[in-house]
């Protein structure tokens, strides 16, 4: 079966027809670019991903990362594309060129990531984490720390990680036991154990820079007493040259359901008493610093889920067009009738359109957040910049969780389209499902993200940010109501948005009451309905853009694409949103069964 890669036509539609990416060229920051440059960059990203990264996808899964004689080895097939990736400067496309970046807009970076990340996410774990490490140093580090680490992290000459999780703490970061004691030279002696560390050790770079959460002796308990330290695998001298190993030791890697090519490590720090770290930011402010990397990672997980879903959908579509089985319905009784491609069967078409709608909605959602990040940097006034950042903060847990959940469901649906073959390793969809599942688990599980949305995000600025979000949706609805072919869809969507506003107010008030446990028992369903409405918003927005394009006139060969945008919106708004209304009724009903059931009644 031919290997597939992200849909360039749909990416271009989102970039240039839904979000008007060309307008960013008007800003001084991007005056060196033009649309031709963007096109060439995306074309090269696609070509490089297809030729160099995609061929490693199956091999990396079958052979995997390995742990031998105390050392971690990445799949051998990763070595050549990793070095080419690094030399070509793909690792930090949107960062400042003075630090090794390319200075591109966030939207173009997101589009390139669909290719560079989407062709093998396990491979990208080695290329991308250094960016998050570097970002924290850029924002909170001293000039000396930036000089020592930043460019080498942004250019992927050195790797990066994120050392939060511990065996006894898990998602309860405040319960960590890793300690830090100040040395006479101003460094800190670090001692502890960390688990589930993506790319925590490997042989693709000469050094790995670990941001490590630890508690300085005597610091307050809980998250208020956590500090963040830069802990290189190989200690770095003041002149920037690596010195000696820094007593950061990998003691094993996990055998996982998926992402076999990505090394998930258990690390011991200071086992021999010789692990040193440098304080990043201020003492006891580690969570504040780390949240910058965690939020970036959560947005990245939303893209990760999208790219797996996109690939799964495209594979299922190709298979449905090629696989002949059964007769056309109108000729079912004719034994001489030829078999037809399964895409002609109504239920297969339903599954494909279901996948298409979710993939398109998730793509637009990712790009909307990327565009909001752009505006949070480019708007002239502080007030407008903050408004965009507030929207990103509100939607980050929704993007991470909803895309993770439905990206995986799209992969599972792709297996269903393949039938029994989808359950075999002969076709790639079973690997896509295995690799995608992690998205709902790391960087904060779905439940933790839903609690964050409910307890922290929904009531930000007394709910004004949520109301701004609702108004943005209604703005698209009003636009769609002015287009005859979309008016019915817009009218059907409007009461769902009103119901979301009512549901948010109800559950927000419940969180502030003695019934907080009941509210939190409904937190994941609430996040899901908020995500459903976002999908409808994005798909209706797409339909508006497509309708306007068709009114301006399009080539006959392109007409079917734009008509397909309207059908995606129609399918979702008329087929999925009625279910969303039912979910909101259940939330408003507020059953207490989950919190009242005696533990023994669960059985077992």
Q: Among all residues, which ones are annotated catalytic?
A: 443
Q: What is the 3-state secondary structure (H, E, C) of 289-358?
A: HHHHHHHHHHHHHHHHHHHHHHHHHHHHHHHHHHCECCCCHHHCCCCCCCCCEHHHCHHHHHHHHHHHHH
DSSP for 30-81, written as a single string: GTT--HHHHHHHHHHHHHHIIIIITTHHHHHHHH--EEETTEEE--GGGHHH
**Are the CB atoms for 268 and 177 separated by under 8 Å?**
no
For residue 155, the 8-state DSSP code is: T
By residue count, the chain amounts to: 604
- Evaluated on CA atoms 289, 292, 298, 304, the torsion sign reads negative
Beta-bridge mates of residue 565: none
**Are the CB atoms for 359 and 306 separated by under 8 Å?**
yes
- The Cβ of residue 196 has, within 10 Å, a number of other Cβ atoms equal to 20
DSSP for 168-198, written as a single string: TTTT-GGG---EEEE-TTS-EEEEEEEEEEE
What span, in angstroms and rounded, lies between the C-alpha atoms of 591 and 132?
A: 41
Q: Tokens standing for 156?
A: 């992927």
**In whole angstroms, how far apart are CA 555 and each of 405, 548, 549, 552, 561?**
37, 14, 10, 10, 10
What span, in angstroms and rounded, lies between the C-alpha atoms of 271 and 275?
A: 8
Q: Which of 90, 104, 78 is nearest to 24 (CA)?
A: 104
For residue 262, the 8-state DSSP code is: S
Q: Where do the DSSP E strands lie in 400-541?
A: none
What span, in angstroms and rounded, lies between the C-alpha atoms of 57 and 19?
A: 31
- The Cβ of residue 544 has, within 10 Å, a number of other Cβ atoms equal to 24
- The Cβ of residue 590 has, within 10 Å, a number of other Cβ atoms equal to 14
**Are the CB atoms for 288 and 281 separated by under 8 Å?**
yes
């Amino acid at each position: 079966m031919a290997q597939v890669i992200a849909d360039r036509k749909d990416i271009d539609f989102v970039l240039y027809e839904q979000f008007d990416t060309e307008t960013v060229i008007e800003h001084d920051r991007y005056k060196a670019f033009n649309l031709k440059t963007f096109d060439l960059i995306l074309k090269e990203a696609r070509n490089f991903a297809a030729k160099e990264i995609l061929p490693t996808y199956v091999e990396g899964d079958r052979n995997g990362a390995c742990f031998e004689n105390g050392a971690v080895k990445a799949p051998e097939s990763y070595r050549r594309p990793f070095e080419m990736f690094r030399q070509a400067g793909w690792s930090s496309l949107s960062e400042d060129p003075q630090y090794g970046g390319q200075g591109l807009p966030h939207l173009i970076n997101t589009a390139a990531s669909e290719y560079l990340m989407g062709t093998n996410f396990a491979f990208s774990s080695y290329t991308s984490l250094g960016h998050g490490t570097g970002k924290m140093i850029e924002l909170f580090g001293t000039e000396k720390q930036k000089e020592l680490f930043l460019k080498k992290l942004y250019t992927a000459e050195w790797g990066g990680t994120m050392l939060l999780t511990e065996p006894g703490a898990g998602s309860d970061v405040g319960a960590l036991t890793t300690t830090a004691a100040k040395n006479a030279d101003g460094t800190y002696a670090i001692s502890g154990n960390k688990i589930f560390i993506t790319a925590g050790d490997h042989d693709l770079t000469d050094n790995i820079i670990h941001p490590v959460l630890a508690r300085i002796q005597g610091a307050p308990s809980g998250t208020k007493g956590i500090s963040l330290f830069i802990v290189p695998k190989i200690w770095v001298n003041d002149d920037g040259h690596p010195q000696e190993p820094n007593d950061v030791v990998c003691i094993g890697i996990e055998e996982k359901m998926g992402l076999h090519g990505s090394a998930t490590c258990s690390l011991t720090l200071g086992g021999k008493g010789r692990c040193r770290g440098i304080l990043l930011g201020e003492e006891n402010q580690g969570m504040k610093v780390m949240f910058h990397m965690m939020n970036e990672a959560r947005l990245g997980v939303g893209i990760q889920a999208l790219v797996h879903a996109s690939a799964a959908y495209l594979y299922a579509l190709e298979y449905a067009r090629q696989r002949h089985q059964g007769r056309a319905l109108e000729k079912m009784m004719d034994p001489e009738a030829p078999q037809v491609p399964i895409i002609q069967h109504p239920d297969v078409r339903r599954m494909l359109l279901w996948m298409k709608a979710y993939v398109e909605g998730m793509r637009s959602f990712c790009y909307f957040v990327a565009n909001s990040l752009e505006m949070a940097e480019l708007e002239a006034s502080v007030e407008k910049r903050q408004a965009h950042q507030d929207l990103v903060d509100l939607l980050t847990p929704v993007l991470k969780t909803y895309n993770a959940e439905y990206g995986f469901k799209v992969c599972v649906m792709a297996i269903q389209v393949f039938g029994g073959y989808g359950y075999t390793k002969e076709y790639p969809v079973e690997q896509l499902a295995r690799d995608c599942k992690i998205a709902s688990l790391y960087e904060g599980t779905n439940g933790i993200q839903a609690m964050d949305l409910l307890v922290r995000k929904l009531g930000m600025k007394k709910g004004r940010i949520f109301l701004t979000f609702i108004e943005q949706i209604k703005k698209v609805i009003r636009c769609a109501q002015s287009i005859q072919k979309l008016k019915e869809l817009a009218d059907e969507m409007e009461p769902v948005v009103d119901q979301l506003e009512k549901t948010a107010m109800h559950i927000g008030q419940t969180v502030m009451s003695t019934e907080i446990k009941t509210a939190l028992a409904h937190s994941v369903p609430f996040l899901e309905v908020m995500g459903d409405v976002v999908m409808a918003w994005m798909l209706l927005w797409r339909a508006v853009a497509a309708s306007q394009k068709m009114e301006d006139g399009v080539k006959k060969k392109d007409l079917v694409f734009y008509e397909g945008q309207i059908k995606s919106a129609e399918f979702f708004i008329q087929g999925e949103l009625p279910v969303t209304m039912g979910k909101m009724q259940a939330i408003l009903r507020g059953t207490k069964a989950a919190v009242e059931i005696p533990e023994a009644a669960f059985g077992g």
